[in-house]
Every structure is written in C-alpha cells, then in structure tokens.
C-alpha cells in the first residue's frame, strides 16, 4: 500500500485530510501558498489531536507521532514523490484546473491525482492534464476527522485501477466509500443536500414555516441528524450557494436555482455559524 500523500490546500478540508491520513500511518506533505496558511492548518491539526487525547480517544504518543508525519511546504514540487495527491482548494474550476495542470508536470507518472471537490465535474478538472485516467474525485466530508463518508467520483476517463487505489486510500484512513459512476455536477450528496436546502429556504422565505419547524420536520419526520437549514449554517450559506449555482449552471435544472434569500444572506454576510448569523443566530 502506497504511503506517501501530498495534500494541496491547508484549509479546513485539506488539514482534516492530512490529519486522518497521518493518524493512519501515511507520510503527509501539506502544501499551501503562504507560511501563515500552513501554520494555521498545522495548528488546527494539533488542537484537534489534543481534543481527541483529552477525550481519551487517542493516546498522546500516537497523536505526537501522527503530527510528526506531517511536513508543510509552499513548494508545489513537493508532490514529486507522492503516491497520491489530494487537491483541496477553493471550489473554482479555473483554480483547480491550474493546479492540475501543474500537478500533471510535477507528479510521478503512476500517481493518483484526486480532487476533494463537492460539485465540480471531475472530467473538467481531469481535462487539464495529459493523464485523465489517473484523475478521480475524493469528496471528503467536514469535519473530516469526525465524518465517516467519502464520495468517490469517476470522471469520464477515470480508470478502474485509479478508482480502486482511491478507495484503498480512503478506506485506509477510516472512511466508508460510495461510488459515483457518472460524473454529474454535484455528484450524489451535494445534489441531494442542495435540492433539500433550496426547497427548505424557499419554504422559509415565503413564510410557510419557521426555520426551526422546517428543521424539526426533517429530523423527526425523516430521521435526519440535522435539519437542512441548520446544515446550511454549519456548512456556510455561501458555500452551499456556490455549490447550488455550480449544479444549476451545469444542469439547468430549476430545482437547483437558489432562492433570492440565500443570495441576500450572502450579500449581507449572514453566512451561518462562522459569521454568527445565518438562518439562526449563533
């Protein structure tokens, strides 16, 4: 089993992927464009490990060992000896294509190039490389150390071998995988949550029911752990708006057209927990 991983992007997702991988025994190089971003990412990983240790879920020595397996760099050349490269940067097709173009030149020939995108078609990202058969989607869920799911996405040209390697990697870091066989925008999970959030926001916007009651209906009626509007606040209304717009642009399916209230909330900065106000006050 390959054991050298490169993660591009030290934000919440990238650092979470680095954390679970290091804990599972992978040697990880975490790359971002600034030393500040890397320090924040590594600091977040260290404090996450501390919480697991405090709760008795991880031995202090194991946490220290895992942290020692993560090196940081601003140099993209550091991907040269990685067996798997996971890109976890901002959800913008131009940014991702630029990174994959560079990875194509720098990564070794048999490396698997994975994107942690939640809504952008893998085929579009893979087309920026000369090896689309080696490109795959590995959509982890946030927060990565807590969430068990990884959605594996097959691009138009992704090979069976690449998909199998991606599955082996995700399972080795403790995730349960679902496979998306056809590269539709939003895959399975983002399409489902986007459709639900859009409809919930429309019901709220038109005064049909309060945010609390819509969420309680989903929790008690359908067994959801969290209602769609609380989920939007946790994920970030801005992030969900961006995802639904990506799906709508690609599919032209009206059910993914975000309601005006989501746009206005984002314009006003009411984007959920991270701003202190979304559909709920936090």
pLDDT tens digits, 27-38: 999 999 999 999
Neighbour count for residue 140 (Cβ, 10 Å): 23
Nearest to 125 by CA among 103, 149, 153, 96: 96
CATH code for the domain of 95: 3.40.50.720
Both 71 and 103 in a single domain?
A: yes
Q: What is the pLDDT of residues 71-115, one digit of tens each?
A: 999 999 999 999 999 999 988 899 999 999 999 999 999 999 999
Please give the Cα distance from 256 to 244 (Å, whole number).
6
- Domain match, 264 and 246 both: yes
Backbone angles phi, psi at 72, to 5 degrees: -120, 155
**Sign of the C-alpha dihedral, residues 195, 98, 82, 90?**
negative
Q: Is the pLDDT of residue 127 over 90?
A: yes
User: Does residue 204 share a domain with residue 166?
Assistant: no
Compute the average pLDDT of residues 170-196.
95
Tell me the average pLDDT of the chain. 96
Q: How far apart are CA 210 and CA 201, in angstroms?
A: 10
- Residue 14: band (very low, low, confident or very high) from pLDDT cuts 50, 70, 90: very high
Q: Which residue has the tokens 């859009």?
A: 198
Cis? peptide before 143, omega within 30° of 0: yes
Question: What CATH number is associated with residue 244?
Answer: 1.10.1040.10
Q: How far is CA 139 from CA 14, 43, 86, 100, 220, in A?
A: 11, 23, 10, 16, 28
Domain boundary among 116, 146, 180: 180
170-189: average pLDDT: 95
Per the DSSP assignment, residues forming a β-bridge with 150 are 140, 177
Residues 225, 92: one domain? Answer: no
Asked, for residue 28, whether it belongs to a domain, the answer is yes
Q: What pLDDT, on a 0 to 100 scale, did the predictor assign at position 91?
A: 86
pTM (whole model) above 0.75: yes
Instruction: Note down the domain range covering 259.
Output: 190-273
Q: Does the structure show a pLDDT above 60 at 2? A: no
Instruction: Give residue for tokens 């009411």.
Output: 270
The mean pLDDT value for 156-160 works out to: 98
Q: At residue 175, does pLDDT exceed 60?
A: yes
Q: 95 and 211: one domain?
A: no
pLDDT digits (tens, 9 = 90+) for 197-224: 999 999 999 999 999 999 999 999 999 9
Tell me, yes or no, whether 212 lies in a domain. Answer: yes
Are 75 and 31 within 8 A, CB to CB?
Answer: yes
Looking at residue 84, its pLDDT comes to: 98
Domain boundary among 180, 201, 216: 180
Structure tokens at 48: 């996450």
How many structural domains comprise the chain?
2
Determine the pLDDT at residue 78: 95
Geometric angle at alpha carbon 40, from 34 and 45, rounded to 5°: 130
pLDDT score for 263: 97
What is the end-to-end Cα distance of the chain in Å, rounded? 44
In a domain, 282, yes or no: no
Chain segment 48-76, per-residue pLDDT in tens: 999 999 999 999 999 999 999 999 999 99
**Domain final position from 157, 180, 203:** 180
Do 128 and 219 reside in the same domain of the chain?
no
pLDDT tier for residue 236 given thresholds of 50, 70 and 90: very high
């Amino acid at each position: 089993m390959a054991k050298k991983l490169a993660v591009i992007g030290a934000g919440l997702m990238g650092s979470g992927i680095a954390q679970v991988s290091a804990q599972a025994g992978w040697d990880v190089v975490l790359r971002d464009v600034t030393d500040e971003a890397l320090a924040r990412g590594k600091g977040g990983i260290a404090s996450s490990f501390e919480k697991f240790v405090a709760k008795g879920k991880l031995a202090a020595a194991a946490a220290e060992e895992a942290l020692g397996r993560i090196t940081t760099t601003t140099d993209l050349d550091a991907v040269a000896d990685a067996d798997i490269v996971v890109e976890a940067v901002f959800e913008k097709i131009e940014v991702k294509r630029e990174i994959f173009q560079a990875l194509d030149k720098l990564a070794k020939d048999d490396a698997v190039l994975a994107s942690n995108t939640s809504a952008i078609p893998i085929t579009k990202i893979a087309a920026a490389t000369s090896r689309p058969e080696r490109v795959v989607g590995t959509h982890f869920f946030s927060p990565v150390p807590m969430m068990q799911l990884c959605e594996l996405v097959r691009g138009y040209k992704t090979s069976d071998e690449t998909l199998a390697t991606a599955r082996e990697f995700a399972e080795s870091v403790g995730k349960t995988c679902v496979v998306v066989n056809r590269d539709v925008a939003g895959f399975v999970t983002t399409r489902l949550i986007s459709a639900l959030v859009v409809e919930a926001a429309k019901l709220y916007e038109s005064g049909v029911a309060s945010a609390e009651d819509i969420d309680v209906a989903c929790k008690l009626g359908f067994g959801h752990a969290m209602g769609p509007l609380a989920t939007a606040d946790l994920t970030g209304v801005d992030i969900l708006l961006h995802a639904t717009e990506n799906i709508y642009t690609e599919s032209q399916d009206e059910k993914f057209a975000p309601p005006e209230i989501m746009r206005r909330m984002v314009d006003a900065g009411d984007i959920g927990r991270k701003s202190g106000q979304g559909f709920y006050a936090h």
